[in-house]
Amino acid sequence: MGKETKPTQQEIAMGALAGICSGYLFKKVSKYAAATAVVGYLAVQGASQAGYIKINWKKVNDQIEDLKEAQYIKELTDKLADLTDEISEIITDEDTLLLENEGRLKATARRAYEAFKQNAATSGSFTAGFTLGILFA
């Protein structure tokens, strides 16, 4: 592992500023997205009630059942993958232990965690700033 350096005040301040800006924008954009979804839903329902649109509810229900079945199959596949991960041989890496069949998502999460540990002060100030940006937007 490399030499650990102490974070500077500038790094912490930049992390906090970036977090505040990101949180503020996230809250503003999410408000507009939610409003757009509600207006769209109400427009479709109004058009349906007025007779402009005919919704094939049988087809909608069939699609929902297909999605439920696909979700059930995915859950079973995930359980099988977890069992495979537990059985897999552990390979020793320089900094971490990796499972042979770990998968991209877990490997990415592990790398993100390692990066967060190395930049904990900047990441923490970003997280705090993000929270403040959402709260005060």
Question: For residues 24 and 12, what is the distance between their CA atoms, to the nearest angstrom?
Answer: 18
Residue 1 is assigned to a structural domain of this protein: no
Residue-level pLDDT at 6 = 66
Q: Give the residue-averaged pLDDT of 110-136.
A: 80
Q: Taking 60 as the threshold, does the pLDDT of residue 2 lie above it? A: no
Interval 67-80: pLDDT, tens: 998 888 888 887 77
Report field, pTM of the whole predicted structure over 0.85: no
Residue 75 is classified by DSSP as H
Residues in Cβ contact with 50 at an 8 Å cutoff, skipping those fewer than 6 apart:
none
Question: For residues 124 and 135, what is the distance between their CA atoms, to the nearest angstrom?
Answer: 17
**Domain boundaries, position 125:** 10-135
Number of domains in the chain: 1
Interval 11-21: pLDDT, tens: 888 888 988 99
Residue 127 is assigned to a structural domain of this protein: yes
Band the pLDDT of 89: cuts 50, 70, 90.
very low
Q: Please name which of 72, 36, 44 lies closest in space to residue 60, comparing C-alpha atoms.
A: 44
